Structure 1
Amino acid sequence: MQNYLLSKYNSIQPRFTITKFITVFTFILTSLFLIYYILFKDNLPTLSIPVISRDSSNRSILPSFFPVINRELIQTDYQPNVISKAQKPSCLIVIRTADGAMGNRMFLFASAYGLARLHQCELYVAPWILTDLRSIFLVNLNQTPVHLITRDSVVKEPGLFGRYSSCTLFDDLLRVPLKENLTRYEMIGFYQAYGYFLKYRHEISYLFQFNQGAIRPNVPLVEQLLKAVWNIPMNLGNYTKDNVTHQYLKSLLTHPSVPLMPVTWIGMHVRRGDFLTFFKIDTSVDYLTFAMNYYRRKYINCRFLIASDDKNYVRTNLGHNSDVFITPKSFFSGDDLAALALCEHTIVTGGTYGWWAAWLAGGNVIHDLNYPVPSQNCIREHYFPPWFVFPHAKSNSTKSRR
């Protein structure tokens, strides 16, 4: 009997030891994980996503920004994920010269931000460029992961490499890590290639939120549109004319309360001006009419809000349509841009200003074929995102074969 009990004990003892070891090992791993999570949870990677923001009444307001390829928005509050700026960046992106007008500067800034974000670089933006952008947008860089350098002396330090681009997407700028000779990089020209910032489009849209200076002139415009389309007064809710958000104004047009009939708002930018002489191009009324009819067939109850640098031309050629509204003559470029971004879809003739109006509005985009011009040497896939379409191209080719 004693021998039996002894043999039984010897058979049980190893199993007991193994079980105890597994229990202790699991406890240690769990403890280490909890300690790591508590110490480093703020630096764990998070997924930044576009949002539907909310007004002061906590109602969902569709954003007036970025295009989504599948047209699906994730409903969650956007809080920029600010990484620790104590980490010393290993590179510098510089923009201090800019040609053209607002659309060109938006491209240059967005591309610079995208590269700085991709490579965790510091970003130097010439003060005058930042001031110009902030005449229309908030550009709150303090709430983004990119560190803005304000010392002008940084551009005088040795080793700065500059390269010109009109709309070229340089592959070497997108490789991680950057080559040593590109770690202090000055962007010269326009950099009109959306690939530099597409990955961070939600952050770009956050930076390009309209300020009150651009929003305020649009309050009476929206009031006029509400009266003309639905014959209703404007209800600003908890807002005033001085603090109403762009998103709230957009919601008044795109989501009228029941039982009002829904309307599809199409923004249209007609660029003429210097394009007639400098690029020798002029968008035809046939194209504008085709694009409008395309949307009329695609959506129910369309209304067109048109901005242009030649509003007399628009009024003469398109003003007779009962579904057309033209922004006031008193509007400046920032006011017109904010007005076009109130819409759901866009028609563009040419130029970066219209490109950005379409980007900020979101939705579908129809663009004319005559821009960019051949002399710009643009690869179309670099300049046009996939949601910019050219349905009239097929129509024109069909006509030419007849």
Structure 2
Amino acid sequence: MHRNAQKRLALLVKVLLVVAGISYLAWVNRHLVIHAGKFLIDGSYRSCVHRRRNYELEEKSSPLYVTKRIHGRLGNWLFGYSSLLGIAKANGYLPYFLSSHPLNSYFQLSHVRSSPAECLFDVYDDLPCTYTSSMMNLPSGNISIDGYIQSWKYFRFIEKELRQDLKVHPHLSLYAQKLFHKHLGPHIAAGRLVISIHVRRGDVLTPEARKLGFCHAPKEYFDNAMRYMLKLFPYSVFLVASDDIEWCIDNIKPPILKDLLSEAKLSKIKHDNPKIKSSVFNERVPIVYSKSHSSWDDFSMLMLCNHSIISVGTFGWWGAWFAKGHVVYYDGFPLPGSKIDHETNKEDFFPSDWVALSTGAFLKCGTSFFLLLFFTLQFTLILYK
């Protein structure tokens, strides 16, 4: 009896190992499994697959289309549309968003259709914030991209065309100009540049998001970023937009210029702007906090700023892209060793001319310098002993 029980246990372990192995292979190849299942049970899908093969075999000259499934919110929609245009151009396909897509309510998109193209074949991009070169060589047939396609590299070669395409509807553009001047009019009239600060907190503070690798940029990062920007553009005003504006009011405080810049630098600012009163150098750099409850209101003002400080996420990313100025981003995202950290390629997500800063940006530079000096001295002493 005991021997029979051992045999049954060994058999059960083998069965479990086989099931686990099959499950793992099915998960790794889940897109292929889904495709095979749909091919077997869905006649219309099977017909589409055959039609796609005809494109390859017969080299038909009819246009091929590529579209993108709705994913996320405004920043993700903008990545989807922009990357779609670049991918389409690289493949010689016609891109489109459905006219019902919510992005159309903000922008006058040129590439839209009222109904989907026929026989769409799914292509997947599972990696966020990463450039996937295979997207630039799509299979034949009408394609629907499902996933992220979140990289500036997809559309870097069509940027001029893309900026022409992504035009805000006139009534929204007029409203944004009025809102911008309502918040910043006196500062703009005084000749100050406007530097935006976008702070995303909200959903990235949840335990679930943090487990994946999301995080928020802390106060120290914004302190460093403001000092960095003011050394480049000292006569400025900051505009803060956030989903947690009360935290920003309590934590984001610009420095006093006199504590940051040399007398020579202050004298040059005064010389370049004769109307400036010297007393402003003894005060904190002005800051305006947007208390709008509309994400679009905040976004439309971010687009109009001269330069940008961003934290995490695609919302601030696109506000900075539209502004076209100097951009600083938080280098502490995603959390090291997390799922998103393994999936993300920062070089693919952040343009090469944007500047990465962390909470200890200035300290790190100083520490590196002293370490270099220390080892140089030690090496010199060894040589001359």
* Counterparts of residues 189-338 of structure 1 (less than 5 Å): 189-211=147-169, 212-213=171-172, 215-227=174-186, 229=187, 253=188, 262-277=191-206, 278-279=209-210, 280-318=214-252, 321-330=284-293, 332-338=294-300
Distance 1:93 1:182 in 2: 10
Change in CA separation of 1:214 and 1:334 when aligned onto 2, cut-off 3 Å: farther
1:151 and 2:126 equivalent? no
Counterpart-to-counterpart distance in 2, 1:191 and 1:396: 35
Give the TM-score taking structure 1 as reference length. 0.61
Q: 1:121 aligns with which of 93, 106, 109?
A: 93
Q: Deviations over 1:327-381 (max 9, x none)?
A: 2334x11111110111111000100001001100011110001224542211111
Give the TM-score taking structure 2 as reference length: 0.63
1:162 aligns with 2:132: no
- Aligned-partner SS, 1:367: strand
- Structure 1 segment 22-41 matched on structure 2, within 5 A: none
Q: What is the deviation of 1:139?
A: 1.9
Match for residue 387 of structure 1?
A: 353
Judging changes above 3 Å, is the alpha-carbon distance between structure 1 residues 184 and 170 closer, same or farther for their aligned structure 2 residues?
A: farther
Percent identity (aligned): 23
What is the match of residue 67 of structure 2? 94
The equivalent of 2:322 in structure 1 is 360
Corresponding residue SS for 1:390: strand
In structure 1, the residue matched to 2:55 is: none
Q: List alignment gaps of at least 5 residues for structure 1.
A: 1-86, 142-147, 230-252
Q: 1 CA distance for matches of 2:202 and 2:253?
A: 19
1:161-190 CA-partner distances (Å, limit 9, x unpaired): 42123233222333xxx46x2543321112
- The 8 Å contact of residues 351 and 371 in structure 1, kept in 2 or not, is answered as no
Q: How does 1:43-58 map to 2 (within 5 A)?
A: none
SS of the aligned residue for 2:105 comes to coil
Query: How many angstroms does 1:395 deviate by?
Result: 2.7
RMSD (Å) for aligned C-alpha atoms: 2.6
Report the AA paired with residue 201 of structure 2.
R
Q: Does 1:341 align with 2:297?
A: no
Gaps of 5+ in 2: 1-59, 255-283, 371-385
Q: Flag the 1:351–1:149 CA change in 2: closer, same or farther, 3 A.
A: same
The structure with the largest helix share of the pair is: 2
CA, structure 1 residues 357+113, in 2 after alignment: closer, same or farther (shift >3 Å)? same
Partner-residue secondary structure (3-state), 1:134: helix
Report the CA distance shift for 1:140/1:215 in structure 2 as closer, same or farther (over 3 A): farther
Shift in alpha-carbon separation, 1:128–1:372, aligned structure 2, 3 A: farther
Q: Is the 8 A contact 1:97 1:189 kept in 2?
A: no
Instruction: Give the length in aligned residue pairs.
Output: 269
Pair 394,220 (structure 1): closer, same or farther in 2 beyond 3 Å: closer
Q: Aligned with 2:100: secondary structure?
A: helix
Give runs of ≥4 in structure 1 deviating > 6 Å: 399-402
- Contact kept, 8 Å, 2:215 with 2:334, in 1: the verdict is no
C-alpha separation in 2, matches of 1:366 and 1:269: 11
